Structures are given as C-alpha cells and as structure tokens.
Structure 1
Amino acid sequence: MSYDEAFKTLLISSNAKLNLELNHLVIKQDENIAKLFLKDINIIILESLQASLSSALFNAFAKHKIILLTCDETHSINGVFTPFLGHFQSAKIAKEQINVSAQKKAILWQKIIKNKILNQAFVLKKHNKIEQSNELINLAKKVSLNDSKNIEAVAAALYFKTLFGVSFSRDELCFENSALNYGYAIIRACIIRAVCISGLLPWLGIKHDNIYNSFALCDDLIEVFRASVDDCVLKLKGESEFLSKDDKRALIGNLQSKINFDGQNYPLNRAINHYVANFKNALLYEDELKIVKFDD
C-alpha cells in the first residue's frame, strides 16, 4: 500500500455487521449493504455498541494499517486498535530512536511548540483577535530549548480564554470541550497510524513521558495540528455537552481541511503523513523539521 493511499474515515453510528469480502469491508445495516476497498480506509469510528466484526476483519485492518476507534455509552471515543510492526526495518529504526540525544529532542520540541503557538496565533487572527494573536507571536519568539520556561502553558491560557471566553476551562464539561476532545482524538488516530507505518516507537516521546501512555510520541506530534480542530469547533453551535451527528461529521470532515507543508497544500490527513515522515528524518538523521501552516 502506498503511503498516501488511504483517505476515507467511516463513522458507524447504528446497528451494523462488518465483514471481510475479497479485500473489501462489507457493511450491512438492515437491508442496506455497502462495500469499500480496504486500501482506501484510513480510520473507522465504531460509535454503535451494536456493531459486530469478525476476527478476519481485524486481521485485515492490521494488514492495511487501518485505525479502529471505539466509543463508550456516551459516544465518546475511548479506545484505539492499531497495527504494529508497520515498517520492514522496525528494529533498526527503534534502536536509532532510542539512541537519539537529549539535545536533539530538546531542539525538536522547541520547534514543535513554536509551530503550535504560531498556528494558534493564526486562528486568533482569522477570527479578528488581532491583539491577542500578536501576543502569541511574541510568545513564540520566547520559546527556548525543550520549552524550559513553559511558554506553551502561558500561550494556551491566553489562547483558549480568547477563543471561548474568560471563564472557559479545559476541565469543564461543556460542548466546546466535548468537540475539542472528539476532534483531537481523530487527529491523534491519524498520527498513530502514520507513526506505526514509519517504524518509530509510538510510546517513546521526545517530551511526553508517561508509563501509562502507549502513544507518547503521537501526543508530541499532535501539537502542531491541534489548532485546526479549535478552528473547526468555533464554527459549531452546540447547546449541551453532547455532540450531534452533524457536529461529528464536521469534525471528521476537518481531516480534509487544507494544510500547507513544505510549500505545498495537502488535506490534513495527508499532511500528517508527510509531517511524520519529515519528523522521523529530523529525529534520526539531519533533516530540518519543517513548519505546518494553515490555509488562509
């Protein structure tokens, strides 16, 4: 399978039987039947608790590097099935990754946080918060090696209160946080897939480090893409902490939003693939980590 081939994200929100048939995913819902090429599928979100899958299908998901997200009773994403050993040189790459110096990790984390804050500034500017956008741009200039002064947290406090109001907290149970969490989970799944394909160890982060987190590296790499979800959430009009089907479709559709990477525009899901490949070469070799920018 070519690196950029998969592009479809599926949401299974009602009773369904999922089966494998000649390299196709077959979805049966009542009298309706749909067939999709496995090679075209990027992510499947299994929202319904009344969906059944065969073990052969799980094997096919692993073979085709398809990410499966499961949901709990409130329809919130709570689990991920991902293939492993997605690269033919996994052992070689893992050894190189383990031996990366602390200095190189610190340099890369500095670049990631600068990129994240500049993307947050872009979103504020887009929504006519010019003064606060300029403040973030100035904060980005102050990010040091390994973000030792924790400028990321200072920027986040200003950013979220500007976006969602001075009383907003990321710990609050509200529509905005439900939408942010859902959107981030989808982006995270794409990054998990790309990292597994690259051969990098997803649990070995350059900054995030938690013995209970199997995807610490993915949580490092998501930072530059988070603001795309924030921008999408601003366009939604929820009235409770629960997301409608339209809200979820919009957050899934955000994977097709335009991202500029290395001078070219890509849909977000493909930009993630290119970014992870570039990050791998910057981490293990001497490539420059390139900047992710959002489309005007």
Structure 2
Amino acid sequence: MGYDEAFKNVIISSRAKLSLQDNHLVIAGNDEVAKLYIKDLHCVVLESPQITITQALLSALAESKVLVLTCDRTHAINGVFTPFLGHFANAQVAREQIAVSTESKAKLWQQIVQNKIHNQASVLQSCGYITEAVELARMCEKVEADDASNVEAKAAALYFKTLFGIGFSRKAKHKIHNALLDYGYAIVRSCVIRSVCMSGLLTWSGIKHSNQFNQFNLCDDIIEVFRPFVDRCVLGLLESRGKDGDYAVVCDLSELDSKSYLETMTKEDKRALIENLQSEAKVGEQIFPLSRAINHYVQRFKNALLYGQLLVVVCME
C-alpha cells in the first residue's frame, strides 16, 4: 500500500494555520513556520480548537492517505478523517463480505479472541506475572466458536486486575489508567479504520460487533488483537511517572470527572501513545512497526474472511 512508508506523527496543540505548499504541510504558528513533506506523514492530530486548515491541504492529505484525527474541547480524540480512496473492486468485495456465513464469522471471532488473550498473556509475562500469564494461556485454549462462553471477558478481568491492581475498573473514567488507555485505543482504532477502508471491506459489517448505530463494527472486531500493545505502552507511562508498584492508586482523582482528567494528560503522554505505532509487532513470520502490522493484518483478515485462507497471528516482540 502506498502509505506504508509514512513514518512521521504530528500533534498540533496550539493556534496554527495549516496549508499546502509544494507537497508539504505548512504549519504557521504565532512566530514560527514549519514544513513537513506530506509523503512522510503517517498521522496528524489536530488538538487545538484554534487550528484552521485549507481544503487543498485536506485533499492532499486524503490523496496520500494520511491519518487525520480531531479532538474535542477536552483534547480527547473524537473523529477520524477517512480518505475516500478505497479498493478498486469495492462492490465485489462488499457482495462477498455480506455472503460470508455465520459459521465462518464465528470461527474468525474465536481466532481473534484467542490472539487477543495470547497477547495479554505476553504482556503479563513481560511484567513478571508468570502464574497469571499461564492461566491466561489456559483460558485461551477454552475459547469456542463465537466465544460462546465469553472467555474474553473472564480473561480481561484477570488481566486488568493483575496489570493495574485489584481495584482497577475500565468503568472508572476518572483514573489516569483509563484516560491513557482510551487515548491509545483511539489512535490504534483510527489506523484500523483507515486500513479497513482501503481494503474495500464494509466497515459497518462486523463479525461480532453489530451495533446498528456504529459504522465501524468490523474495525472494532479487528482492533481487539492490538489492544495489548496499547496496554503495554500505558503501563510503561505509569511506571515512568515514578509511582510505586500499586498502579491502581496512582493518585486520588475521585473529585474529577473523566473529561477534566483528560485535560491533565501531558503532551509527552500523548506523543508516546502516538509513537507506540512504531513499536514492533510480528504478523505471521514478519516483523513490522505496529502501524504497518495493522495494514498487513487487515489484508490477511480480508483473505481469511472472504476466501477461507488461514488467519495469521499477531504477536508482541
């Protein structure tokens, strides 16, 4: 894919005018002007509400398939600009996708859940939680077609409790952990959305997720194998803050709601979560930066979904 060589990630967090000049993104700030070659860009995050952008630049970014993310007033990612340049045989791909049997979808979901739990076990093992990692590996073997017994949820309960402490809950939106996780997941989800759009697959037609109001059900299926890459990055950020080993009590934020806490995330946190796209991932027998691994995995997933080919496993390096 043409955008596979892009490597630069840019966060624009202050007032700026963005325009196009000679195939470069021009960022004009208060007293500075920066130019970035568009072909080198992988991701641009528009964080400041005081950013203006020209239509010519948006068109050029779309043509080069650059990922453009927007943020709300709390700096949380709330949108992705998806290029309208997809697969050359979209209609045929769509017909084949809709015709896929329920049994085939159930089998693929089983493999995705197994892959996710395997990567969760890898994260725990790298942190020294050997007993819990072994338990996750055992749970992985019990996953049935369509994950009928919901092993995914049971594994997640053990995984997050081990990783972030007994008191941790993904529903506790005031926790620093969840602010970081949500931001990191949004970055990876955006990459998945872009790759799925470019593959020609219907983004709304999931193999497990089926919310009628969600146009990215399939993307939310595929992202599951990549979530542990974000978890590992977040754990590293928490450790770098110099706190003690009980990550469930990083600080007392009981008086803050989730939106106000998002505003306390540092630029370094956000940049680290975006740069996590350059961390290594193994797709089958090949090693790629995470952003490229997503591209390759989506293509292999497409072949498995439509043509019955073997779905590769994504592993953490």
Question: Which category describes the TM-score, using the shorter chain as reference length?
Answer: over 0.9
Cα deviation, 1:10-43, whole Å, max 9, x if unaligned, reads 1111111110123221111123222222222222
Match of 1:294 in 2: 316
Match of 2:305 in 1: 283
Q: Which runs of 5+ in 2 are unaligned?
A: 242-250, 254-260
Q: Which runs of 5+ in 1 are unaligned?
A: none
**Conserved in 1, the CA contact under 8 Å of 2:3 and 2:64?**
no
User: Counterparts of 2:237 and 2:140 in 1: how far apart (Å)?
Assistant: 28
Alpha-carbon offset, residue 71 of structure 1: 0.9
* 1:1-296 pair list within 5 angstroms: 2-172=2-172, 173-237=174-238, 239=251, 241=261, 242-295=264-317
**Conserved in 1, the CA contact under 8 Å of 2:114 and 2:143?**
yes
**Conserved in 2, the CA contact under 8 Å of 1:85 and 1:199?**
no
Query: Which stretch of structure 1 is more off in the superposition, 258-267 or 108-117?
Result: 258-267
- TM-score normalized with structure 1 length: 0.96
Query: Which stretch of structure 1 is more off in the superposition, 7-16 or 213-222?
Result: 7-16
Alpha-carbon offset, residue 84 of structure 1: 2.9
Give the match's secondary structure for 1:180: helix
User: Counterparts of 1:198 and 1:140 in 2: how far apart (Å)?
Assistant: 29
Match of 2:258 in 1: none
Paired letter, 1:62: A
User: Counterparts of 2:208 and 2:186 in 1: how far apart (Å)?
Assistant: 19
Give the match's secondary structure for 2:2: coil
Paired letter, 1:52: T
Alpha-carbon offset, residue 76 of structure 1: 0.9
Give the match's secondary structure for 1:236: helix
- TM-score normalized with structure 2 length: 0.90
1:10–1:3 distance in 2 versus 1, CA, 3 Å: closer
Runs of 4+ in 1 over 4 A off after TM superposition: none
**Conserved in 2, the CA contact under 8 Å of 1:65 and 1:86?**
no
Paired letter, 2:163: L
Alignment: residue pair count: 295
**Conserved in 1, the CA contact under 8 Å of 2:279 and 2:289?**
yes
User: Counterparts of 1:40 and 1:204 in 2: how far apart (Å)?
Assistant: 32
Alpha-carbon offset, residue 3 of structure 1: 4.8
Alpha-carbon offset, residue 62 of structure 1: 2.2
Paired letter, 2:170: R
Give the match's secondary structure for 1:235: helix
Paired letter, 2:90: S
1:85–1:96 distance in 2 versus 1, CA, 3 Å: farther
Alpha-carbon offset, residue 67 of structure 1: 2.1
User: Counterparts of 1:286 and 1:174 in 2: how far apart (Å)?
Assistant: 42
Question: Pairwise CA RMSD of aligned residues?
Answer: 1.3
Alpha-carbon offset, residue 60 of structure 1: 2.0
Alpha-carbon offset, residue 81 of structure 1: 1.6
Percentage identity across paired residues of the two chains: 56
Paired letter, 1:152: E
Query: Which stretch of structure 1 is more off in the superposition, 41-50 or 60-69?
Result: 60-69
User: Counterparts of 1:82 and 1:22 in 2: how far apart (Å)?
Assistant: 23
User: Counterparts of 2:54 and 2:191 in 1: how far apart (Å)?
Assistant: 23
